[in-house]
Structure 1
């Protein structure tokens, strides 16, 4: 029923409920705090009365003498009752060191021992809330000393009845109740004015209508797994959802222009529609994005454009990983064929009884395999790079391509930029083998040279080379001179290598054909060493890069094939 009321009524009722609840809570908390304060004052008042009783000469003299005439009609009882009556105390009880009462509002308890210990024997005043035989009271216990004031002969216990405390509390809280009532009235008036102003600000729309509009908008923007940007006719961002902010690295983009949000590049041009109406694939520092831009026209009038951005990083990574697995499968298949041929040869020699020739053949095969790996190890000290090159050679041989390591190559056991070197060499060798596969002779030459100032990588192939008109675009996202293989998306490998190298202060160059030559120079020292135990692949599925300050690049020479 409350949900169907008007907005102004809801605001008024809600404000009243809040004010009422907070007022009640505040009043209760104030009551507890005031009760504690009054209890504390009553305890100190009881202590003052107890001090008066403990210093009364008649009580001191009688207790020093052992109260020989004690009892209901004794001096101690009469003086204690007189003090209690005059001060308004609930009781004044005088107790000796043995715990025996010498005065009490109930005469039958005089002469009996108290159950609790005599705490005032330490010479200090003690306070407590006593639920004793006369009812709840604020109690103070003070030491009773003899006439010399040196020896403690008992204690005096004085209590202020709880009904006196309650009366004082009610008297004080009634004043606070008036203040709270006045504040509640002001709050009601303020709530009514606020509800009226809010009703005008919402153009008369009720909460359900406002919520419906907001839900439709939020469902459209945040209920989809794509980034969405909308531009008004002037080119300013009018709508942007969270996914778009995440993928494009945007902050508060509303009302801004693209040139104020993104640097000039392929990403900004694709969002602005400068690269055509087709779907554009863009490689950023962390993602591979598919960008679509659709202009919005209503009644022949341009209202801006809507851009959708989809994250294709995982898909591209999986395709590249599939390529790597396929290459590994080809290498294993080639080794299986070669191993089977060798086993057949050995089996034939053994069947013919040519044991010595079979032994010589086996030794020759083992020596050839070792010599190939040792030849690479002589120049390349790092085992990860050796493993990568041996695997690439095996895959290339299956396709009829020979990979030759330049005799000038020299790489240490722990070179700088190891993570980047594995990625760069793997991608460049894959491209070179693809380019050289149709040529004769099909060869790829690799140079890996490490100096004190830089590491140089040079990959040359015997393929047709890069056309002159493609040199300016060879490192752009999505650009490729070869058709799609159906797995990994073309045009991303060289773009990834270019971005990786340049972001770490290096350079990458390519020569035109025939026979493409790619030259990469990475400066030393490496300020981003690879962590121990890191896993490297030639085609990493995650397209992520780190940004570092540019370092000085050594433009050294090298053997060109």
Structure 2
């Protein structure tokens, strides 16, 4: 017993979706924060540049930057402006790079030796980034020009860029709402999708579906019948090993179109039907198959079709057993009874001393049997059919029915697509039905006439009786599977099987009947395939 733990698929899908959503949020957050940092950097740079321009254009700044030790008056003013403009630091330099304002008081009056301020003393304004003890800062450089547009100094305004943790803290409310809503909808959506999948898989878990698939495949391959199934697109979903053997197909066929594998397939016909087709004899891949074809439906919607079929050779043997083997057994019983009667007759003649009459009687019955046997073996070149006819003639004598063979009977070979199994089934069932037609009749004589004739073009079978006939109201039903007037279990397949053989061999069958006067059946089969005749 498998005791391994299997996580439910609903939980698997929910966890997987949760991880995917969380990962997507993480990746998206990285890009979003990158954009936020870039936007914040541009915003700080613009603000720094505006502040630097404002300070550089102040007359007081332009005046004090020219004075010796003007920083004593300029630095307090710049510090107030820094607070107003919310700058982190502001540095004012004269043309000699002397600091006239600085956040560190001790730096006032000292010379700046920074490398990135040289361009500002060439009347260029620009932004730059620098890393310091407080972090990375964006600095705006703007030259100070007097009224004659001569440069007299430089204003440097710097602002520290916020760090990622600081940005997260600033946006923690929005981030929390986004995470909560995203995960909530992601988990709920995953749960609903998982529940839907469970419903569509009949509440089965993946390991259960896998086990069922393995078991189903093993069961199909163990079947004696061929099994083929297709979906609505005529794509093969099942093709067991027995079907491959019957149709001489090798290799993988699952997932391929059935028309590419079996060009003369009849299975797609069922997709357009609302009812199954049972026990139909069809020809596929030059093989005669007895097929059951059933549409596969879910909620009254056809989603595919399945065919279960047998090689007709096995079925024909079974049919022969049903129609002729029982007849042979019955014939042996009848012959035994008939011989007992004849022996009693001979014994009685001997006891009466009529030896010549007894001998003559023996010669007569022997000659009759030998003559009948010679006639059948000469005109019918198939021992199975000869044996069937001998048994039916003997059975007829037992029942008081005379089975008359046409003296022109001839059968050298069977038509295409037919064999001795077909003929045994056809003739055996026709004779049995004729015998049954005398069941409730007492009039004499009771006769059944049988003619089998075959030439180069056609093979014809004619059977006539003077029995009770077939009522008109059941004419259309007598060839239906299971229909019978005998009331016996297992009856109702004889004429159905005959009709299937006639259709398979492209033959024709008709009958005429009159109540209490008898019935005549006429069957005709072409000796060659229709296509062969057309080519000829």
TM-score (norm 2): 0.46
Whose radius of gyration is greater, 1 or 2? 2
Quick check: which one's strand share is greater?
2
TM-score (norm 1): 0.44
Question: Which gives a bigger RCO, structure 1 or 2 (Cα 8 Å, sep 6+)?
Answer: 1
